[in-house]
Amino acid sequence: MRVFVAGATGAIGKQLVPRLVAAGHEVHGMTRSESKQAMLKELGAVPVVADALDPDQVAEAVGRARPEVIVHQLTAIGAVDLRHMDRDFAPTNRLRTEGTDHLLSAGQAVGVQRFVAQSHIACYARAGAAVKREEDPFDPAPAREMRENLAAIRHLEEAVLGARWTEGIVLRYGHFYGPGTSMAPGGQLPELIRRRKFPLVGDGGGVWSFIHVADAAEATVAAVEHGRRGAYNVVDDDPAPVAEWLPALAQTLGAKQPLRVPRFIGRLAAGEAGAVMMTELRGASNAKAKRELAWRPAHPSWRQGFAAA
């Protein structure tokens, strides 16, 4: 198939493009930078230079590639201060709202059969089961600093799943780790842990579901090839509370064990969003993705995955 990947040069894009090419697809990879065209060629893609926030450029790029499938992996996350999450996610929120709309319009104009978009599992309600399935509700009352983030995710999902002219698929990825991610050695999180600036807040009861970025790419290839309209959690087999994975990650990094602070101190330091992520977040089940995408993570647990990465 001809596959148009928006976000082809990012952490997930770099893993995805070569896998699509190896599976025999013709990949058109989008970037804003003339200078990244060589990298895209090396990955096996036809480079396409366009700004995702410019509807004319997107329409022209998609119109020229005439893809059968569009994959939307656009984010602009960078370094995030959890106290100002909505501020730091503003560029990503634009890509998830306006960027999604431009790609959908361009895709509709050329009649794409499938539209696969990146979402995130940190959308689920902080009540009820510790591990959520795709049909479980979104958080009805997110922390103040996470509201715009969640609204953008909701916009993306409603737009993609509501596009009845195509097979609209949203992949709710778990927390990425592995090459090129902020969890890679030298990345933001390991460095904070190393400097003991990522404490265990409260009971550390927030449940995180991780995914190795290569496994996320494999699931995305499966969705491109035979996904059906709907949402899929793309996570490993081992959702775990912060109280379990954070000390284990510190040990893997050879760092001192994280400091422990009460929730109110964590809230002062990292804001309500930080405290929520440490104490109330929910994990996700990958049963549907395994069943319907015939996909299995090569790194079924972060316990071995962190050390390998």
Ligand X SMILES: NC(=O)c1ccc[n+]([C@@H]2O[C@H](COP(=O)([O-])OP(=O)(O)OC[C@H]3O[C@@H](n4cnc5c(N)ncnc54)[C@H](OP(=O)(O)O)[C@@H]3O)[C@@H](O)[C@H]2O)c1
Q: Which span sits near ligand X by CB under 6 A: 64-72, 144-152, 172-180, 263-271?
A: 172-180
**CB of 176 or CB of 198, closer to ligand X:** 176
| Among candidate residues 56, 36, 53, 54, the one with its CA nearest the CA of residue 45 | 36
Task: Out of 46, 76, 110, 125, point to the residue binding ligand X (CB under 6 A).
Answer: 76
Q: How far is the CB of 37 from ligand X (least distance, A)?
A: 10
| Among candidate residues 40, 38, 19, 39, the one with its CA nearest the CA of residue 28 | 40
Question: What's the number of CA atoms in the CB half-sphere (13 Å) around residue 21?
Answer: 18
Q: How far is the CB of 2 from ligand X (least distance, A)?
A: 19
Cβ contacts of 256-264, under 8 Å, gap ≥ 24: 256/196, 258/193, 258/196, 258/198, 258/199, 258/200, 259/196, 259/199, 259/200, 260/199, 260/200, 261/199, 261/200, 261/201, 261/202, 262/201, 262/202, 263/201, 263/202
Q: How far is the CB of 80 from ligand X (least distance, A)?
A: 8
**CB of 76 or CB of 163, closer to ligand X:** 76
Rounded Cα distance between 244 and 204, Å, is 8
Interaction of residue 199 with ligand X, rule CB under 6 A: no
Interaction of residue 295 with ligand X, rule CB under 6 A: no
Interaction of residue 11 with ligand X, rule CB under 6 A: yes
50-69 residues in contact with ligand X (CB under 6 A) are 51-53
> Token pair of 33, please?
């930078």
**CB of 31 or CB of 100, closer to ligand X:** 31
Interaction of residue 170 with ligand X, rule CB under 6 A: no
Task: Out of 22, 38, 56, 78, point to the residue binding ligand X (CB under 6 A).
Answer: 78
Which residues contact ligand X (rule: CB under 6 A)?
Answer: 7-11, 13, 30-33, 36, 51-53, 74-78, 95, 120, 173, 175-176, 180-182
